[in-house]
Structure 1
Amino acid sequence: MAKILMVLSGVDYWTLTDGSKHPSGYWAEEFVVPHRIFTQAGFTVDIAAPVDGKPAADPVSLRPDAAGPEADHFAAYIEEAAEALANPTALPDVKTADYDAIFLPGGHGPMEDLAHDPDLGRILIEADAAGKIIAPVCHGPAALLSANLPGGRWLFAGRELTVFTNAEERLNGTASRAPWLVETVMSARGAVIRSANPWQAHVVVDGNLYSGQNPASSKPLAEKLVTELSSR
């Protein structure tokens, strides 16, 4: 069966434009729903994070007003996975060849650490060269910014993908406080952004790059991976 590396942010904050640290981390739904889908399909899922990183769910993502009626389920699932989350594989120790896919949940945390992590950049470059699936969701595409080739060229320039859009960031009330916006920066680096209406589930596939726009996209994105990996 397939083996998936799920790379989570290792911080519990997001630095805003005024320099303050806003409580953040990974978005609960984007961890729980894909992890559940992958394990129910019989896949092995390993969790990784930057060196000394301690993955933490964004507290807002566990509130019923943000997460909806599944908030308690998300919290319970995370509690059941507490040991794995507390002991992630450090990114320098990851052997890319051991995995069939790299999955990157969002939340604002990845903008803080994964976007600049050279060890993740190495993993993504190796995974792409081997044709392995790379699948970020929501703010998870920010982590792709770590994959810089010799000479400074970005690995994913010219590729089609979707991200948590500027419109969604504005509707979320966080755009004015963000030091940078994922859609803006990735477009500037050469990504071809294909977005749907705010909050609509939306998945884009470009070769081995599978991406989801927002939390609602977590489920269809994970299901696409299961379909593809099960057919190999």
Structure 2
Amino acid sequence: MANILVVVTNVSKYPDLERATGLWLGEAVHFVDEMDKKGYKIDYVSPKGGYTSIDPHSLEKDQMTGLDWKYYQNNDFLNKLGTTLAADEINPEDYDVIYFTGGHGVMWDFPDNEKLQKVAMKIYENGGIVSAVCHGAVGLINIKNDAGEYLISNKKVTGFANSEEIAVGLDKVVPYLTEDKLVKRGANYVKGDDWASFTVVDGHIVTGQNPASGGEVAKEVINILNSKL
């Protein structure tokens, strides 16, 4: 029975813009649903712990599927998002998978959280899986081993594409571009068509490009877990 750690943001507003952000709901829902169907235990963590906002743009009609609405009305799920564990409460020995969700807020509180980086690295060193979707890939950019080598250096990964950031008109608002940061860390960045589900597997690192990719990331993670049995 696998134990899954889902990472969400504590950032609810763009620092320099009158616009809300937070967790992109579907990026949690479609991953979590696949894990839940397998009966895996799921915990939720954020850098500071406590409440994570849901990005209101992720609740717009053209973003919501029937599955998203089901989870949005699930009080148990919503209560877990409201009472996340803090990064410093996590023992990485307890988990087989860490999954970094997206939403633009993560760009401000994922990359510099050393505790999350250490948790992810330990899970990976223990033979576990490090995974992310969309902007959540920025949670991987500063993960290093004890020798100071970046986890994603020379690894094939994906994440929110520059072309997608430009398309939503936020390329001049965000502090950096996800794709650019992944490339800067020495990753072999690849992408599919904008907005289409696209997932990359390199060993025990699984990454998805955009909001449409969360379910596929989950299925690839499950394939790896099954291969270890």
TM-score, scaled to structure 1? 0.91
Q: Using the alignment, how far apart are the partners of 2:47 and 2:18 within structure 1?
A: 19
Q: Secondary structure at the match of 2:45?
A: strand
Of 28, 49, 52 in structure 1, the residue corresponding to residue 46 of structure 2 is: 49
Q: Which amino acid aligns with 1:220?
A: E
Q: Flag structure 1 segments of 5+ consecutive residues without an equivalent.
A: none
Q: Using the alignment, how far apart are the partners of 1:69 and 1:125 within structure 2?
A: 35
Assess if the C-alpha contact under 8 Å between 1:62 and 1:75 holds in 2. no
Q: Which amino acid aligns with 2:164?
A: E
Q: Using the alignment, how far apart are the partners of 2:105 and 2:18 within structure 1?
A: 11
- Match of residue 14 from structure 1: 14
Assess if the C-alpha contact under 8 Å between 1:63 and 1:71 holds in 2. no
Quick check: which one's helix share is greater? 1
Could you list the per-position Cα deviations for residues 32-90 of structure 1 after superposition, in whole angstroms to 9, with x for gaps in the alignment? Answer: 1111111111111011111245211111001113335655334224x441221122111
1:160 equivalent to 2:156? Answer yes
Q: Using the alignment, how far apart are the partners of 1:71 and 1:90 within structure 2?
A: 25
Of 82, 86, 101 in structure 1, the residue corresponding to residue 97 of structure 2 is: 101
- Match of residue 64 from structure 1: 61
State the Cα distance separating 1:5 from its structure 2 match.
Answer: 0.6
- Match of residue 2 from structure 1: 2
Within 5 A, what are the aligned runs for 1:169-184?
169-184=165-180
RMSD: 1.9
1:28 equivalent to 2:36? Answer no
Q: Flag structure 2 segments of 5+ consecutive residues without an equivalent.
A: none
Q: Using the alignment, how far apart are the partners of 1:137 and 1:210 within structure 2?
A: 9
Number of residues paired by the alignment? Answer: 228
State the Cα distance separating 1:227 from its structure 2 match.
Answer: 2.7
Assess if the C-alpha contact under 8 Å between 1:52 and 1:90 holds in 2. yes
State the Cα distance separating 1:114 from its structure 2 match.
Answer: 1.0
Assess if the C-alpha contact under 8 Å between 2:199 and 2:208 holds in 1. yes
1:130 equivalent to 2:122? Answer no
Could you list the per-position Cα deviations for residues 178-231 of structure 1 after superposition, in whole angstroms to 9, with x for gaps in the alignment? Answer: 221000111112111011110111110001000111111111111122232234
- Match of residue 112 from structure 2: 116
Q: Using the alignment, how far apart are the partners of 2:177 and 2:79 within structure 1?
A: 33
Assess if the C-alpha contact under 8 Å between 2:117 and 2:143 holds in 1. yes
Could you list the per-position Cα deviations for residues 76-125 of structure 1 after superposition, in whole angstroms to 9, with x for gaps in the alignment? Answer: 24x44122112211111111111111111111121110111011111122
1:210 equivalent to 2:210? Answer no
Of 185, 192, 197 in structure 2, the residue corresponding to residue 189 of structure 1 is: 185
Could you list the per-position Cα deviations for residues 144-197 of structure 1 after superposition, in whole angstroms to 9, with x for gaps in the alignment? Answer: 123144675423211110111001111122112222100011111211101111
Q: Using the alignment, how far apart are the partners of 1:206 and 1:71 within structure 2?
A: 28
TM-score, scaled to structure 2? 0.92
Assess if the C-alpha contact under 8 Å between 2:159 and 2:208 holds in 1. yes
